Amino acid sequence: MVTAAPQTVLVTGLGSCVAACLYDPIARVGGMNHFLLPSGTAKKGAGLQFGEQAMPALVKAVLQAGGQQRNLVCKVFGGGAVVPLLDQIGEANSRYVMQYLADAGIACVAKSLGGQSARRIRFWPATGRVQHSFITDHVEMKDILETEKSISAVSGAVKF
């Protein structure tokens, strides 16, 4: 989602997934994505679950909303190893987002990637403000773990 509305707060929970909070501080417009895997074969309409579609789509949406490529900055979060045997997914997601930003010439001004904890992100797109916290609530953690366990069912063709 992309917006310039100052009252809008975007919220997500992350395990091995990655969220990119992209914004233009001059135009005061921004957006956030949340992707499960760096790449893969998507079912129709589900492509934004992969970084290779989600990142360009986010950039395009911010530009269409009035942002300028030269002003874009990004904050990235997630990529944790919260489920045993899935740690390589978080690492791959983290590598992908950092490489994408470098290739696109977009500065990463803040990041919290890796580790073994899930995260909660609150992002104010108009200002670029992010509130980041580690999740300790068992109910919320359970929801994230369920999502993590379903990642392998997302695609039969996953590249790392």
pLDDT for 141: 62
**Burial of 84 from C-beta contacts in 10 A (0-12 / 13-18 / 19+):** exposed
DSSP 58-82: HHHHHHHTT--GGG-EEEEEE----
pLDDT for 159: 34
Q: How confident is the model at residue 48 (pLDDT cuts 50, 70, 90)?
A: confident
As a whole number of Å, the CA-based R_g of the chain is 15
Q: Which of 17, 11, 27 is nearest to 54 (CA)?
A: 17
**With pLDDT > 90 as the criterion, what percentage of the chain qualifies?**
68
| pLDDT tens-place string over residues 57-69 | 999 999 999 999 9
Domain limits, the chain? 2-153
| pLDDT tens-place string over residues 17-31 | 999 999 999 999 999
| pLDDT tens-place string over residues 92-103 | 999 999 999 999
CB–CB of 61/72 below 8 Å? no
pLDDT for 140: 62
CA dist 88 and 108 (Å) reads: 22
Q: How confident is the model at residue 133 (pLDDT cuts 50, 70, 90)?
A: very high
CA dist 7 and 21 (Å) reads: 16
Q: What is the CATH number of domain 2-153?
A: 3.30.1330.200
pLDDT at 155 over 50: no
pLDDT at 85 over 50: yes
CB–CB of 130/121 below 8 Å? yes
